[in-house]
Structure 1
Amino acid sequence: MPENHGRGGPPPSIQQPYAFLSYGRTPQSPGGHMKRFHAKLSADLMELTDLGAGIDPVYLDSRTRLGAAWRSELKDHLARCQVLVPVLSRRLFISKWCDVEWQCFERRQQLQLARRTFTRKAVVPVLWTPLSPDEIPRPYADVQYAHDDLGHDYVDGGLFGLLSDGRDRTFNKVVYRLARNIVEVAVSARLEPCDPALFDDLFDPLNGPAGEEH
């Protein structure tokens, strides 16, 4: 984190949700492990930042994908959240919704590039299930997802693997370090909010049956 921001986190000017969790759904989504990840990451981000009490630090889409109200809510969060957090799994890679979420953040970053205020990608990938490097497609493979400080157990099994094996202490340590990475990226990237209508054309092709995922 830049020195002028100090150890207390980002300056008060960042008062937007920090992380948007982009994840591939199962019929039971979000499951218990995903909810636990969301809760732990949210708690850590509240401790590491000066976010107001009324701001949810992490957006987790858990509603049935149906109707204009839900789409409006999703676009609003995609337009305001500071960092995209793709939860890497095989389900994410085949999800059309996750692809649209990536494209929305990419469009916001292109706007900053045009304004000459772009500094870095506002993306922090998270390993959810065991994946070898050749199983991770672009564009996700273009962003570093395995950091040395996260440990070999995380790289080998992902967060889902840690929870499934009952390795709670390791899980908590990894999520805390991910939260610190998210704060650092948010502060340095300074991704500016945009008009949610900017995403209308990306959502239009997905006007399929209720709850359709792919």
Structure 2
Amino acid sequence: MMAAERPQSAGERTVIDKEPDVDRPAPLFFVSYAHTRSSHLIGTFFEDLSGHVQELIGRIPGDDPGFLDRSMAGGRRWAPELLRAVATCQVFIPLLSASLFESAWCGYEWYAFSRRQVLNRRSGRPDMETAIVPVIWVPHGTKSEPAVVGQIQRFSPSGLPEEVVKKYQLEGIYGLSFVDTNAYRAVVWKLAQRVVGLHLSHYVERAPIPDETQLRNAFTEESG
């Protein structure tokens, strides 16, 4: 297993200064979503987010700034590239919706990423930060949320007018793309800033490529 640089001794402070350089071909971020009839809109969102991240990071830390599984066939879900991406990406972005919570595949992806340790780049040690950034795709209400989802603060765009933030919370990214394209663009831009900021401050250790037979559905776990 390839790991981040660690302190050499208990009293020595080590800065993880792998220039936020995800080893090739690791993607910087991974978008987890439920395959539905509107999946083509997720592709548009992904391209918008990828473009912003590429501009902010200055160079591509890998072959592509992000990973999106574009396969629609269930039998191809665990292609080697998907397993590798979830074991090596630095930020995990689940697009929250009722459909996501019903997807066992998405639960497996969440489980696989959440097993990886998050290190503070400055101290080289674990802290309380998470590299999971839940984004509202479609408003769903908290009653349908699995326990593990409620344990993590969802993304909220900072620095935007209050009315834009409220629209995002009420409509989700999916709805904003129809009712207010300017708000959609602003929220996606802020999400890109959050992804890059998190990547610059924290490092998620690589994990062995997971064996799909050992994965569990995080959405059906009692405590996540």
TM interval, shorter chain, is 0.7 to 0.9
* 1:18/1:54 CA distance change after superposition, 3 Å: closer
**Structure 1 stretch displaced more, 156-165 or 53-62:** 53-62
Q: Which moved more, 1:12-21 or 1:71-80?
A: 12-21
Residues 139 and 171 in structure 2, CA contact (< 8 A), matched pair in contact too: yes
Q: Which residue of 1 aligns with 2:19?
A: 12
User: Deviation of residue 146 (structure 1)?
Assistant: 4.8
SS of corresponding position for 1:190: strand
1:22 aligns with 2:27: no
1:181 is the counterpart of 2:194 = yes
- 1:77 pairs, out of 63, 73, 85, with 85
- Find the counterpart in structure 1 of residue 151 from structure 2: 142
Q: Identical aligned pairs, as a percentage?
A: 31
Q: Which residue of structure 1 aligns with residue 167 of structure 2?
A: 153
Query: Superposition RMSD on alpha carbons, in Å?
Result: 2.6
Amino acid paired to 1:58: G
CA-CA distance at 1:194 after TM superposition: 2.0
Higher helix share: 1
Q: Is the 8 A contact 2:97 2:140 kept in 1?
A: yes
On the 8 A contact 2:90/2:199 being kept in 1, the answer is: yes
Q: Determine which of 147, 163, 181 is the counterpart of 1:168.
A: 181
- CA distance, structure 2, for counterparts of residue 17 and residue 99 of structure 1: 20
Kept in 2, the 8 Å contact 1:12–1:50? The answer is no
Q: Secondary structure at the match of 1:130?
A: coil
CA contact (8 A) 2:87 2:210 kept: no
Per the alignment, in what secondary structure is the counterpart of residue 95 of structure 2?
A: strand
1:121 and 2:120 aligned: no
When the two structures are superposed, what TM-score results if normalisation uses the length of structure 1?
0.77
2:101 aligned with 1:88: no
2:12 is matched with none
User: Where does structure 2 lack aligned partners over 5 or more consecutive residues?
Assistant: 1-16, 217-224
Q: Secondary structure at the match of 1:17?
A: coil
101 and 54 in structure 1: CA distance in 2 versus 1, 3 angstrom threshold: closer
CA distance in structure 2 between the aligned counterparts of 1:155 and 1:47, rounded to whole angstroms = 26
State the Cα deviation string for residues 63-85 of structure 1 (Å, max 9, x = none): 133359x5211110011111110
Change (3 A) 1:76 1:168: same
Following the alignment from structure 2 to structure 1, what is the Cα–Cα distance between the partners of residues 109 and 151? 16
Alignment partner of 1:65 is 2:74:
yes
C-alpha contact (below 8 Å) 2:31/2:95 kept by paired residues: yes
Q: Does 1:38 align with 2:46?
A: yes
Measure how far apart 1:136 and its partner are. Answer: 2.6
**Residues 157 and 187 of structure 2 are in contact (CA less than 8 Å); yes or no, is this contact kept in structure 1?**
no
Alignment partner, residue 110 of structure 2: 102
Partner deviation per Cα, 1:8-32 (whole Å, 9 max, x = no partner): xx96342342211111111x3622x
Cα contact 1:146–1:155 (8 A) shared by 2: no
Aligned residue identity for 2:148:
P
Distance between the aligned counterparts of 1:34 and 1:182, measured in 2? 17
Contact 2:21 2:61 in 1 (8 A): no
Shift of 1:148: 5.8
